[in-house]
């Protein structure tokens, strides 16, 4: 299988050049791609499933991020905002919550005169293909427009044509299953409503649901840590609240505090969980592999093995903080070249391997590492990392700067990738089903 031609001007036919670039997702990376396309004078459209920008981030909006503002704003987007008279965050050394990131940055960006008219909300991409060409047809493929099939909020199905596609749809809405096999455990349908998505708003919107209940958080990453801390806080005022933490490895090194972590807020999170376990406020159950789930009274029973022996664990509710994976189903007709472990582009995978890298030691990378055998198609942002939990926004901003330069035929700019990330001492502990190292 040949990789794509590195000289885009030569391959973009006149027909393709008349079409917009299609950007999937109005999260921070999709909007950054849009800002870069705008700067280059390339026509584009952004398709967003939610009814506002940053729809996935809003789902965990109550959670404080680890990076300070200065690492969270894309340079091209900032220029656009500045020209529109934007008021930047008062102190860029502070880390915002997800909600603040949306309200103070993404919403104003999505409402600029330049981006606003080019974003379609309530528009979910369900498939991407080459127009009139299934995956097996090769002749003239690189001169054929992309076809993007969408469903709209009112139930219509439409198809749009594009010269290139940038998939920035994230992974937040496709969590890893609870089962240690990577599959939904048998019995999942019977416990509907008792297994909750990562990062519920324990101290706010979802408080009544958790008060006085026994909740088990499954997962070894920072999403799990956030929820454990919130549940422990709730237990102070709702004393019958019980908190368990179930992990499949012998230890959860990714959550533990690290003195090397330049993202200090995140290191503090680890030490707070360590203390909750030491003080017996959080009951930690390690080495537990989940095979089956079943209803147990009004609650749920997790059935599996612990240190090789059959084991069961009962709770009222389970929070699934097991990390995320990319939704590749909509890309079935696109020729992808993915690493067989992390499901990231094959050239990118060794650079982000969580066995070797923390978020901050991922080298800067651009179109070259992100390319697939399908010319003009790129997965960027959180989704480009596949199952690896090491993504930082600053890395994604550099990705889309390079990718949009490539689409514009500006090879000089596309190949010149550069970035300085904060060093982090975590995330180098193996791919164990934990959540984003930054979450």
Q: Choose which of 22, 34, 38, 49 interacts with ligand FAD (CB under 6 A).
A: 49
48 binds ligand FAD (CB under 6 A): yes
Residues that bind ligand FAD (rule: CB under 6 A) add up to a total of 37
State which of positions 113-132 bind ligand FAD (CB under 6 A).
124-125
Q: Choose which of 4, 16, 34, 50 interacts with ligand FAD (CB under 6 A).
A: 50
Q: Choose which of 12, 29, 225, 255 interacts with ligand FAD (CB under 6 A).
A: 29
State which of positions 159-178 bind ligand FAD (CB under 6 A).
168-170, 172-173
Place of tokens 């992990």: 247
- As beta bridge partners, residue 284 has 245
281 binds ligand FAD (CB under 6 A): no
55 binds ligand FAD (CB under 6 A): yes
Minimum distance of ligand FAD from residue 135's CB (angstroms)? 19
What CA–CA distance (Å, rounded) separates 27 from 151?
Answer: 19
Two structure tokens written together for 349: 């995978």
Two structure tokens written together for 177: 């299953």
Report which of 92, 47, 50, 46 is spatially closest to residue 70, judged by C-alpha positions: 92
State which of positions 194-213 bind ligand FAD (CB under 6 A).
199
What CA–CA distance (Å, rounded) separates 369 from 349?
Answer: 9
Strand order of the β-sheet with 164-167 is: 119-120, 44-47, 21-24, 164-167, 377-379
Task: Identify the H or E element spanning 280.
Answer: none
| Segment interacting with ligand FAD (CB under 6 A) among 64-72, 107-115, 200-208, 313-321 | 64-72
| Segment interacting with ligand FAD (CB under 6 A) among 52-60, 78-86, 301-309, 336-344 | 52-60
Minimum distance of ligand FAD from residue 172's CB (angstroms)? 4
Task: Identify the H or E element spanning 225.
Answer: helix 222-237
Q: Which residues contact 29 (CB under 8 A, 6 or more apart)?
A: 168, 170, 380, 381, 382, 393, 396, 397, 399, 400
Cα angle value 110/113/115 (rounded, 5°): 40
Cα angle value 215/219/222 (rounded, 5°): 100
427 binds ligand FAD (CB under 6 A): no
Contact 412, 384 (CB under 8 A): no
CA atoms within 13 A on the CB side of 197: 12
26 binds ligand FAD (CB under 6 A): yes
Strand order of the β-sheet with 309-315 is: 288-296, 299-306, 309-315
33 binds ligand FAD (CB under 6 A): no
Nearer to ligand FAD among residue 29 and residue 405 (C-beta): 29
Contact 353, 388 (CB under 8 A): yes
Q: Which residues contact 14 (CB under 8 A, 6 or more apart)?
A: none
381 binds ligand FAD (CB under 6 A): yes
Q: Choose which of 215, 216, 244, 436 interacts with ligand FAD (CB under 6 A).
A: 436
Where do runs of H (alpha helix) occur along 86-192?
Answer: 98-101, 107-110
Nearer to ligand FAD among residue 94 and residue 277 (C-beta): 94
77 binds ligand FAD (CB under 6 A): no
345 binds ligand FAD (CB under 6 A): no
Where do runs of H (alpha helix) occur along 335-392?
Answer: 349-352, 367-370
105 binds ligand FAD (CB under 6 A): no
Minimum distance of ligand FAD from residue 35's CB (angstroms)? 13
| Segment interacting with ligand FAD (CB under 6 A) among 51-59, 246-254, 294-302, 411-419 | 51-59
63 binds ligand FAD (CB under 6 A): yes
Where do runs of H (alpha helix) occur along 327-436?
Answer: 349-352, 367-370, 393-407, 411-415
Longest dimension (CA), the chain: 68
Minimum distance of ligand FAD from residue 80's CB (angstroms)? 17
Nearer to ligand FAD among residue 360 and residue 375 (C-beta): 360
Look at phi and psi of residue 306 and say left if phi exceeds 0, alpha if psi is from -120 to 50, else beta.
Answer: beta
Nearer to ligand FAD among residue 28 and residue 185 (C-beta): 28
Binding-residue pattern over the window 130 to 149 for ligand FAD, x denoting contact by CB under 6 A:
--------------------
Minimum distance of ligand FAD from residue 191's CB (angstroms)? 24
352 binds ligand FAD (CB under 6 A): no
Nearer to ligand FAD among residue 109 and residue 125 (C-beta): 125
227 binds ligand FAD (CB under 6 A): no
Interface residues with ligand FAD (CB under 6 A) are: 24-30, 47-50, 54-57, 60, 63, 65-67, 124-125, 168-170, 172-173, 199, 381-382, 391-393, 396, 436, 438-439
């Amino acid at each position: 299988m040949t990789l794509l031609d590195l000289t885009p001007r030569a391959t973009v036919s006149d027909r393709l050049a008349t079409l917009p670039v299609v950007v999937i997702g109005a999260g921070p990376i999709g909007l950054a791609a849009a800002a870069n396309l705008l700067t280059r004078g390339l026509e584009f459209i952004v398709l967003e499933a939610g009814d506002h920008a940053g729809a996935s981030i809003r789902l965990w909006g109550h959670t404080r991020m680890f990076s300070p503002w200065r690492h969270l704003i894309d340079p091209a987007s900032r220029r656009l905002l500045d020209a529109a008279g934007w008021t930047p965050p008062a102190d860029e050394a502070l880390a915002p919550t997800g909600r603040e990131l949306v309200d103070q940055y993404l919403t104003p960006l999505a409402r600029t005169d330049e981006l606003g008219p080019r974003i379609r909300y309530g528009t979910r991409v369900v498939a991407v293909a080459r127009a009139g060409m299934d995956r097996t047809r090769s002749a003239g493929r690189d001169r054929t427009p992309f076809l993007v099939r969408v469903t709209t909020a009112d139930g219509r199905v439409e198809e749009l044509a594009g010269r290139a596609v940038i998939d920035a749809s994230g992974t937040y809405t496709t969590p890893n299953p609870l089962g240690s096999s990577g599959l939904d455990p048998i019995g999942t349908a019977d416990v509907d409503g008792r297994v909750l998505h990562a990062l519920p708003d324990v101290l706010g919107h979802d408080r009544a649901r958790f008060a006085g209940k026994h909740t088990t958080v499954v997962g070894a990453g920072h999403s799990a840590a956030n929820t454990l801390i919130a549940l422990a806080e709730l237990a102070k005022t709702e004393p019958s609240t019980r908190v368990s933490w179930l992990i499949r490895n012998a230890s959860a090194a990714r959550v533990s505090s690290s003195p090397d972590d330049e993202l200090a807020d995140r290191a503090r999170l680890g030490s707070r969980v360590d203390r909750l376990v030491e003080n017996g406020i959080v009951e930690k159950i390690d080495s537990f592999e989940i095979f089956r789930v079943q209803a147990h009274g009004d609650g749920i029973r997790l059935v599996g093995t612990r240190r090789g022996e059959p084991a069961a664990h009962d709770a009222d509710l389970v929070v699934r903080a097991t990390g995320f994976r990319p939704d590749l189903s909509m890309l079935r007709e696109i020729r992808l070249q993915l690493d067989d472990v992390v499901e990231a582009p094959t050239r990118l995978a060794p650079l982000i391997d969580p066995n070797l890298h923390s978020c901050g030691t991922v080298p800067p990378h651009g179109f070259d590492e992100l390319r697939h055998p399908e010319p003009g198609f790129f997965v960027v942002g959180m989704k480009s990392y596949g199952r690896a939990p090491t993504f930082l926004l600053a890395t994604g901003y550099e990705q889309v700067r390079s990718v949009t330069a490539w689409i514009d035929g500006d090879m000089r700019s596309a190949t010149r990738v550069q970035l300085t990330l904060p060093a982090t001492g975590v995330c180098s502990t193996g791919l164990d089903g934990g959540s984003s190292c930054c979450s």
